[in-house]
Chain A
Amino acid sequence: MSVLTLEGVSKRIGKRWIVEDLNMTVNQGEVYGFLGPNGAGKTTTIRMIVGLARPTRGQIRVLGHDVWRDRRQAMSALGAIVENPEVYSYLTGRQNLVHYARLAGLEAMPKRIDEVAEMVRLKDRLDEKVRRYSLGMRQRLGVAQALLARPRLLVLDEPTNGLDPAGMREFRELMRALAEQGTSVFVSSHLLSEIQMMCDRVAILKGGRVVGEHTVADLTQAATGRVRLQVGDGGLAMGVLAAAGWSHVKTEGQALLVEAEQSDIPRLVRALVAGGVDLYAVEPQRESLEQAFLELTEAQGAESLADGRSAAGGEQGA
């Protein structure tokens, strides 16, 4: 059953089409990634999904309810973080949650607030002013307000910004746990590794269009035809490999990258052992999402290539 559907969604601002003809479906219990270089229209799309902006063309439905026409039904089923979770810094964490609970018309409010605070591990500091929270704690409060009304669909824009590695892992586990309970998650991120670890399916947005919608498994399990070797003597090993017929060998630090299929590995190992090379590790290379992402966006032309590289570069630096 689809929880979120986008049908031919386009948005024009001024004369420019920010996104064009988006079609996506998010199923129940699915974590759906939304990837794209900066300026591809991710944030605009998310704002249309949560009803902050109106699509110029097309329809967005949450549980079958149009986001603009049946706003109340659609929004009751939805929890969101849009960009940074900007909450009221002059209120305490609890007052913030009370504020959002009132807008959701929640019954048994204090109990539910304690529940979600427990879930995001914010209970001890809930009565402090948000002004004094760290970025990570604000992020958790953002997650707490999104979970408050027990949404069927979570829409998250860059949710792990500002979390430390432990926080990111916790967040990932929370998302997976929610998905197992049947909540769907629509998450955009520029952290490709995050998406790879968290999502079931991923859509890649480029220049306002979806250039690919794949399962993460499909994208990352394709063998690349490369094997990574860790050997004692690189020079010796290269000689042995060349003699055995593998001439395309690259060095990568202490390791060697050999162009070889998975089925070739036993033969390759035997050759190396017979040649007297000290062998420490043999590892077939799998395609990372980053490579897949770059390939998909590079296919769009030279201009896309530059964008894709800079997005990926920024990610590695972060």
Chain B
Amino acid sequence: MRELMRVCLNEWMKLVRRRRLWVASLLGVAMVGLFAYGTYHSYQMQQKYNSLAAWRQQLAANRQQLADLRRQQQHPGKNNPESGTSDVVARQIQEVQDSIRQLQQQISEETESDAQWRQQQAKSVREEQKSLARTQAQTAPASGLPAAQHQSDIAQTRLSLLSDSYRLTHGVRPLPSGSQDPYSMVMEFTDFSASVFLPLLAVILAADFISGESTSGTIKLLLVRPVPRWKVLLGKWLVACLATALLTAGLLAVVWLIGCLQYGTHGAWQPQVVGLSYQFQHFMANDGSSTNVVIPLLAHAHVLPMWAYVLASAGLEVVAMMVVATIALLCSTLFKSAMASTAAALGAVVIGFVVSQFLHGSRVVPLLFPTHMNLASDWAGQTAQSLELSVSLGSGLCTLAVWGVLSLVGAFVCFVRKDVLNA
């Protein structure tokens, strides 16, 4: 045990003095910076066109326009002699009035007091419950498309009931539209960086752990020690995983911090449905057209507050990246050149990603590790939705575990047995 500790200390000492760690960290920080800028930009656009202040401004403008139109209606031909008939003016008035009503409703929804919101929410929950009871009371169609649609309706209503009743019982109002919060920012960052960017960082970190030493020849003096080879590799693997985990968690934490500084700390209690999976049923109609029915599977579904979901997602992301690091480590035992092993690991990530996009809907895709790089979206059902295949967090974790264990075993077998002849 103390020997393993010493091996780990060595590997850590080497890692922090190599350029790779700093390249990966810098790339990560640069990406986070760009992401924060992009989010801020779209936030400002939202604020400009889609916020309470913007609506009020629009409302005032609409009222002005309405007044103008009314005046025009009363004194036809006076201000605008060539403008159309009174018909056209009446239609325009109608349109403006509609949009005024809509804006007023949006504003009142945003500005209503908590008590009013609670009443509204309770009402809509009751309505959903009623409609659910009604649908369930109907005799279910025996089979085929109608049966699937019936099932789908029930499940969809239940799904929206889940988060609506959560909001009601915990008194969590939806965030005002156009707002931004640190929690959804972390999830957005995970969404767009998990499939290629974070794995890239993990590969940069871990793919030369052994091949780098083969290339420089230092592996010879490393292995002529009393420490058995498997222990050397175990130490390397632990340090590679630790570094990957720290980098991933660190980047997500930085995103969250930036979010807190820019937008405040609200949004922690918003509901997020997890444990969701989907079932997809295809039906061929007589005329040859096909219908796809999506049925949410709610057996394991429950609602989590956003902060818990984000924290757990970060943990899942760390696990996924450690699997990538393990695969990269296998590559670095298989290839003697650091360049070749990095290329191979990177190729696996990128090709896997492309294949999972390309073979959309194929049964093979859920078995590939790049499909499950974003385990949080496996958990929340987004992966299943986009692949149109039943994928859940459990199956995602299992897939990654199999890849990780096989890579690790492969790396150990290869590293312990191989002759170091021309390093």
Query: Which residues of A pack against B, CB within 8 Å?
Result: 13, 44, 47, 50-54, 71-73, 75-76, 78, 80-91, 95, 98-100, 102-105, 142, 145
- B221 contacts A87, C-beta separation under 8 Å: yes
Task: Look across to chain B and name the residue whose beta carbon is closest to the beta carbon of A78.
Answer: B224
- B419 contacts A100, C-beta separation under 8 Å: no
Task: Look across to chain B and name the residue whose beta carbon is closest to the beta carbon of A52.
Answer: B420
**Can you show 14 pairs from A to B with CB atoms below 8 A apart?**
A13-B421, A47-B419, A52-B223, A72-B226, A75-B224, A75-B225, A81-B221, A83-B217, A86-B216, A91-B17, A95-B13, A100-B221, A102-B9, A102-B10
Q: What residues of A have a CB within 8 angstroms of the CB of B9 in the complex? A: 102
- B14 contacts A99, C-beta separation under 8 Å: yes
Q: What residues of A have a CB within 8 angstroms of the CB of B224 in the complex? A: 50-52, 75, 78, 80, 82
10 residue pairs, one from A and one from B, having the closest CB atoms: A86-B217, A53-B419, A103-B225, A102-B6, A52-B420, A75-B226, A82-B220, A76-B226, A50-B224, A72-B226
| Bound form: Cα–Cα A90–B6 in Å | 19
A72 interface neighbour in B10, B18, B228, Cβ under 8 Å: B228
| Bound form: Cα–Cα A95–B3 in Å | 18
- A51 contacts B223, C-beta separation under 8 Å: yes
| Bound form: Cα–Cα A51–B420 in Å | 9
Q: What residues of B have a CB within 8 angstroms of the CB of A90 in the complex? A: 14, 17-19
Q: Check B227 for interface membership: any CB of A closer than 8 A.
A: yes
Q: What residues of B have a CB within 8 angstroms of the CB of A100 in the complex? A: 221, 225
B421 interface neighbour in A53, A76, A78, A142, Cβ under 8 Å: A53
**Interface membership of chain B positions 213-238, coded 1 if the CB is closer than 8 angstroms to chain A and 0 otherwise:** 00011101111111110000000000
- A52 contacts B225, C-beta separation under 8 Å: no
| Bound form: Cα–Cα A44–B228 in Å | 21
Interface of B is mostly: helix
Task: Look across to chain B and name the residue whose beta carbon is closest to the beta carbon of A157.
Answer: B220
Q: What residues of B have a CB within 8 angstroms of the CB of A83 in the complex? A: 217, 220
Measured as residues with beta carbon below 8 angstroms from the partner, the interface class of chain B is 20 to 34
Task: Look across to chain A and name the residue whose beta carbon is closest to the beta carbon of B19.
Answer: A90
Given A53-B420, A86-B216, A103-B6, answer yes or no on A91-B226 (Cβ-Cβ < 8 Å). no
Q: What residues of A have a CB within 8 angstroms of the CB of B220 in the complex? A: 47, 50, 52, 82-83, 86
Given A51-B223, A52-B421, answer yes or no on A99-B217 (Cβ-Cβ < 8 Å). no
Q: Smallest Cβ distance from B129 to chain A, in angstroms?
A: 66
| Bound form: Cα–Cα A88–B7 in Å | 15
Task: Look across to chain A and name the residue whose beta carbon is closest to the beta carbon of B5.
Answer: A102
Q: What residues of B have a CB within 8 angstroms of the CB of A50 in the complex? A: 220, 224
| Bound form: Cα–Cα A87–B217 in Å | 8
| Bound form: Cα–Cα A75–B419 in Å | 16
- A71 contacts B226, C-beta separation under 8 Å: yes
Q: Smallest Cβ distance from A55 to chain B, in angstroms?
A: 10
- A82 contacts B6, C-beta separation under 8 Å: no
- A47 contacts B421, C-beta separation under 8 Å: yes
- Other CB < 8 Å A-B pairs besides A54-B419, A72-B228, A83-B220, 8 of them? A13-B421, A44-B421, A47-B220, A52-B223, A81-B221, A86-B217, A90-B18, A103-B7
Given A78-B224, A80-B224, answer yes or no on A52-B419 (Cβ-Cβ < 8 Å). yes
Given A91-B14, A102-B6, answer yes or no on A84-B421 (Cβ-Cβ < 8 Å). no
Q: What residues of A have a CB within 8 angstroms of the CB of B223 in the complex? A: 51-52
Q: Smallest Cβ distance from B361 to chain A, in angstroms?
A: 46
Task: Look across to chain B and name the residue whose beta carbon is closest to the beta carbon of A53.
Answer: B419
Q: Which of A47, A73, A85, A99 has the most CB of B within 10 A?
A: A99
Q: What residues of B have a CB within 8 angstroms of the CB of A82 in the complex? A: 220-221, 224
Q: What residues of A have a CB within 8 angstroms of the CB of B19 in the complex? A: 90
Task: Look across to chain B and name the residue whose beta carbon is closest to the beta carbon of A88.
Answer: B218
B228 interface neighbour in A53, A71, A81, Cβ under 8 Å: A71
Q: Smallest Cβ distance from A156 to chain B, in angstroms?
A: 12
Q: What residues of B have a CB within 8 angstroms of the CB of A87 in the complex? A: 218, 221
Q: What residues of B have a CB within 8 angstroms of the CB of A89 in the complex? A: 216
| Bound form: Cα–Cα A143–B164 in Å | 73
| Bound form: Cα–Cα A91–B1 in Å | 25
Q: What residues of A have a CB within 8 angstroms of the CB of B18 in the complex? A: 90
Q: Smallest Cβ distance from B150 to chain A, in angstroms?
A: 66
Q: What residues of A have a CB within 8 angstroms of the CB of B218 in the complex? A: 86-88
- A105 contacts B221, C-beta separation under 8 Å: no
| Bound form: Cα–Cα A91–B13 in Å | 9
| Bound form: Cα–Cα A233–B63 in Å | 129
| Bound form: Cα–Cα A44–B221 in Å | 15
| Bound form: Cα–Cα A90–B18 in Å | 7
| Bound form: Cα–Cα A105–B18 in Å | 24
